[in-house]
Structure 1
Amino acid sequence: MDDRRQHSRRSTELQLEVFDLHSQQHLGRVVDLSADGFMLFSNHRQNVDSLLECRLVTEQPIDGIGEIKLGADCLWSRPSADGKHAWSGFHIIDLAEDQAAALEILLKHL
């Protein structure tokens, strides 16, 4: 697979849950994260080329950061080995300056 990432992804032991910004629907859990994107583990496949406005929510605030709001594009999605879950890769396409600063703080804790 051709890896075009500008920043390396970091696995996270932090519990980062992803929610749709508008419906508040739980979309899944972040498995790895970078300044450019994230991989999501979820109960259902995401639609490739779909755009999400979402919130990454930490279980416990880290340096005052409890959530990050962003827009992301689903680049790929595939079922997991158990057939009950899915993996999806997202590229962050919309991130306000204050949210980018919050993301950098979270990344320092990974």
Structure 2
Amino acid sequence: MMHNSRKRPRRNTPHVVKAIDIATMQPLGRVVDVTADGLMIVTEKKMEVGESFSLRLNLPVMIQFRSEIDMEAIVRWTSKDANPKFLRVGFQFVSIDGEDGLLLEEVMHKLNLVG
């Protein structure tokens, strides 16, 4: 069940940002919004609350000569999407390298994802 306990505003992104499972190098889904604390993807893959992932985000823009950001994240909630083929999955960042955290913040600003 989805609950609204986030501390920072979440912003929708019109850009195609894919979340990749680093363990399998398979796409998990498309990032539809993001905060400094976590993100939400739309996916066909069923995930369990509490499940941990090493994620790679493929960015739509190059930032400091990079187009990917890696992080550890945990599934905090799942819910049905408006399209019954898909699920919405909310992740909380558990660990993100300092440099990658700064890159994510820069990407969020560049794509106008922060208020």
With normalisation by structure 1, the TM-score equals 0.90
- Identity over the aligned pairs, expressed in percent? 28
Give the secondary-structure state (helix, strand or coil) at the position aligned to 1:48: coil
Aligned residues: 110
Q: Which residues of structure 2 form unaligned runs of 5+?
A: none
C-alpha distance in 1 between matches for 2:68 and 2:6: 23
Partner of 1:101: 102
Partner of 2:41: 40
Partner of 1:27: 28
Offset at 1:62?
Answer: 4.2
C-alpha distance in 1 between matches for 2:5 and 2:80: 22
CA RMSD of aligned residues (A): 1.6
Kindly report which structure 2 residues correspond to 1:1-110, keeping only aligned pairs within 5 A, or say none: 2-62=3-63, 64-109=65-110, 110=112
With normalisation by structure 2, the TM-score equals 0.86
Give the secondary-structure state (helix, strand or coil) at the position aligned to 1:14: strand
